Amino acid sequence: MATDIDTLVAMGFPRNRAEKAWKKTNGAGLQPAMDWILEHSEDADIDEPVTEGQSLAAAATPSASSTGNADDEGEIKDGEQTAQSLICNDCQKLFRDASAAERHAIRTSHQNFSESTEAIKPLSEEEKKEKLAELKARLAEKRALREVQDKEEKKSNEKIRRKTGQEITLAKEKLEEEQMKKAFAAKKKEKEEEKAAKAKIKAQIEADKRERAAKRDASKQVAQAQAQADAAEAAKPSVKKEYTEARLQIRLPGTTPVTQTFPAGSQLEDVAAFLRDNGHASTFTLSTTFPRKTFQPDEYSKTLKELDLVPSAVLLLNTV
């Protein structure tokens, strides 16, 4: 006899899903297992194997749907007064346990439930086929709804992507425009600064030129004034300076030269007398070095001025 799991497999569900649905519903029966598969058919781990250690012993117990045993399927016998099921007062459907009723309430928004002494009969083959068809239709509807939602989500994501792309493009263009404006402004400022620097250098060069020209003009004026002064000085009649003294250096043989100042009107004889009085020599002659000239006796009566020995001269004493 087939179990609930075998029944689900026979209805076309993968065994892995059937085992997982039976375990998740704690073996509540075929309908809860089918509902669970419907609700979780899109789960990412729906086809993962049942974890080791999970007990499926209860799945081996034949259900009332296959054995006809009302006690195994939870069917309530006639005359029993205990609650054997839950009934939805809104649609009069029976449920084996509170979890099944809760799932019904979530799906239909029905809120009125009460205990019932009516036993739930096992599903017939026709009912199983109807349930399977209903389940497949619901699965198809759910998949279609999911596909519509996915399409809408993709469309919305595409709109968001395009909008985001446009915003990014606009932001990028705006940033590039601002950067270009900044670059133009920096270039313009650089050119203005360069122009100002060139103008400053040019002005400095012109100022230096004017300064050099002014210095040249001043130098020319000074030179011209000096030349005019020199010309004026040269144009003046020369006035021979009158010297009143004659400074004579007399060189004596073998001794240190003697320097003595005489009045310009002194005679050469006065110089000779000075030499004799100081014991330099008694008989001697006097001469000049340049031009070379030896004074004659008749010249000793002439003044130093007349002999051109003023204002200074060098005399050589030559002993006789």
Q: Return d(Cα 26, Cα 36) in angstroms, integer.
A: 11
Q: Return d(Cα 58, Cα 63) in angstroms, integer.
A: 10
pLDDT digit string (tens) for 11-29?
A: 888 888 888 888 888 887 8
pLDDT digit string (tens) for 181-193?
A: 999 899 999 999 9
Q: 257 and 251 in contact (C-beta within 8 Å)? A: yes
Q: Residue 57: which pLDDT band, with cuts at 50, 70 and 90?
A: very low
Give 105 or 82, the one with higher predicted confidence: 105
Please determine, for residue 61, whether its predicted confidence score (pLDDT) is greater than 60: no
Q: Residue 44: which pLDDT band, with cuts at 50, 70 and 90?
A: confident
Q: Return d(Cα 218, Cα 201) in angstroms, integer.
A: 25
What average pLDDT does this structure show over 53-63?
43
Please determine, for residue 130, whether its predicted confidence score (pLDDT) is greater than 90: no
What average pLDDT does this structure show over 96-119?
79
**What is the share, in percent, of the chain residues with pLDDT greater than 70?**
83
Q: Return d(Cα 184, Cα 68) in angstroms, integer.
A: 93
CA of residue 11 relative to chain centroid, distance: 69
pLDDT for the residue numbered 193: 93
Q: What are φ and ψ of residue 311, in 5° steps?
A: -90, -15
> How many C-beta neighbours within 10 Å does residue 9 have?
17
| Residues composing the chain | 320
Q: Residue 62: which pLDDT band, with cuts at 50, 70 and 90?
A: very low
Read off the pTM.
Answer: 0.30
Q: Return d(Cα 78, Cα 187) in angstroms, integer.
A: 102
Please determine, for residue 121, whether its predicted confidence score (pLDDT) is greater than 70: no
pLDDT for the residue numbered 287: 92
Report the chain's mean pLDDT, rounded to a whole number: 81
Cis amide bond preceding 253, omega within 30: no
Q: 50 and 16 in contact (C-beta within 8 Å)? A: yes
Give 236 or 245, the one with higher predicted confidence: 245
Give 85 or 113, the one with higher predicted confidence: 113
Domains of the chain (ranges plus CATH)?
Answer: 4-123 (no CATH), 245-319 (3.10.20.90)
Measured between its terminal Cα atoms, the distance across the chain in Å is: 185
The closest alpha carbon to 73, from 114, 28, 20, belongs to: 28
Which residues, at least 6 apart from 218, have a Cβ–Cβ distance to it below 8 Å? Answer: none
Q: 269 and 283 in contact (C-beta within 8 Å)? A: no
